[in-house]
Amino acid sequence: MKTITLNTPLDMHLHLRDNDMLQTVAPLTAKSFAAALVMPNLVPPITTKEQLKSYAQRIKIAQGEEDFEAHLTLFFQPTYTKEFLEEVREDIIALKLYPAGITTNSDGGVSNFDIEELRPTLSAMSELGIPLCVHGETNGFVMEREAEFVSIYEQLASAFPNLKIIMEHITTKESVEALDKYPNLYATITIHHLLITLDDVAGGMLQPHLFCKPIAKRPIDREALRRVALSGHPKVMFGSDSAPHPQSAKESCGCAAGVFTAPIALQLLVELFDKEGADRENLQKFISDNAKNIYGIHPKEKRVTLEQKPFQVPPIYGNVVPMYAGEEIGWSIGLVE
């Protein structure tokens, strides 16, 4: 049987939620990943040191016995001072900026991208070496939102050349092209955006469990994402954007955005790299090494062996339906040590 061992897999964009949902999903990521960057879009969003401390505690309890480190993020607000950021520095890995209202629980995000308005907080982050993670979409036409946001990335990248800016869950060739134009722009890519296009979401019967923000784009965009991920490009990291919602919120009139991939992300990733004949070293870079370099983190080592053996995706985890529910995928998780 063919096997592939990954060293210290990292998920650099993850939604763990809270309460019952946290109990359901945290162990699934904690089992097969060594660490993850956890998003702050709770209700209310994470904006204080107290919230960071107590969320970290709740995650610790929910992850159980697994060796796993949750790196928290703070919900970006342009009012944060340098003093405040110094106080929370030890509790966070980055800040996450959401345009106001663009996605789940982002109402308190940024509504004005005037650089001068953002300057005090972004300069402080730059001085303190705190990276900025960005959900890059305008409120324009849904298929163009990310491409339109590229000019904002460019303004930010040139105005704050020492600030590491991570373009989260990129879905377009325009974002891929921006990567190489600015030394301080980086990106995460999800497994679902490497696998699907808009056709899979809405080309036939509408598939609520594949609906997310940013929405999956054109084949040409998926090609660009695959090229950059499969090549092990040093500025690109895996970030699942696994975003669980209760089945009732997905299979309803007004479907919540988010694809739940935590339990199958590694299997699908290995399957894709294997099918495409990509270099194993590039997979290792994409799943771990690049993120370690970009964020300067030193996660505790965890070796995860994937086996080329069918895995039947469960129909549901708690009350959350995963991507490819009930279907068979080609790889399974074997030994974790």
Q: Could you list the active site residues? A: 241
Among 13, 31, 71, 135, binds ligand DOR (CB under 6 A): 135
Q: Which is nearer to Zn ion, 69 or 241 (CB)?
A: 241
Six-digit token string for 174: 């325009």
Q: Which residue has the tokens 């959401």?
A: 98
69 is a site residue for Zn ion (CB under 5 A): no
Binding mask 73-112 for ligand DOR (x = CB under 6 A): ------------------------------xx--------
Q: Which is nearer to ligand DOR, 32 or 103 (CB)?
A: 103
212 is a site residue for ligand DOR (CB under 6 A): yes
Six-digit token string for 129: 């070496």
261 is a site residue for ligand DOR (CB under 6 A): no
Among 26, 150, 194, 243, binds ligand DOR (CB under 6 A): 243
Footprint (CB under 5 A) of Zn ion, residues 289-308: none
How far is residue 21's CA from residue 4's CA, in Å, rounded to a whole number? 31
Sequence-distant (6+) residues with CB within 8 A of 320 are 21, 24, 25, 244, 245, 246, 247, 260
The phi, psi pair for 242, rounded to 5°, reads -60, 120
How far is residue 8's CA from residue 336's CA, in Å, rounded to a whole number? 10
Sequence-distant (6+) residues with CB within 8 A of 274 are 2, 4, 308, 331
Q: Which is nearer to ligand DOR, 135 or 173 (CB)?
A: 135
11 is a site residue for Zn ion (CB under 5 A): no
Residue 188 binding target from ligand DOR, Zn ion, none, CB below 5 to 8 Å by type: none
29 is a site residue for ligand DOR (CB under 6 A): no
How far is residue 235's CA from residue 148's CA, in Å, rounded to a whole number? 21
171 is a site residue for ligand DOR (CB under 6 A): no
Sequence-distant (6+) residues with CB within 8 A of 161 are 183, 184
How far is residue 168's CA from residue 12's CA, in Å, rounded to a whole number? 9
271 is a site residue for Zn ion (CB under 5 A): no
Q: Which is nearer to ligand DOR, 93 or 134 (CB)?
A: 134
241 is a site residue for Zn ion (CB under 5 A): yes
How far is residue 188's CA from residue 295's CA, in Å, rounded to a whole number? 12
CB of 243 to Zn ion, least distance (A): 6
Q: Which residues bind Zn ion (CB under 5 A)?
A: 241
Q: Which residues bind ligand DOR (CB under 6 A)?
A: 15, 41, 103-104, 135, 212-213, 243, 257-258
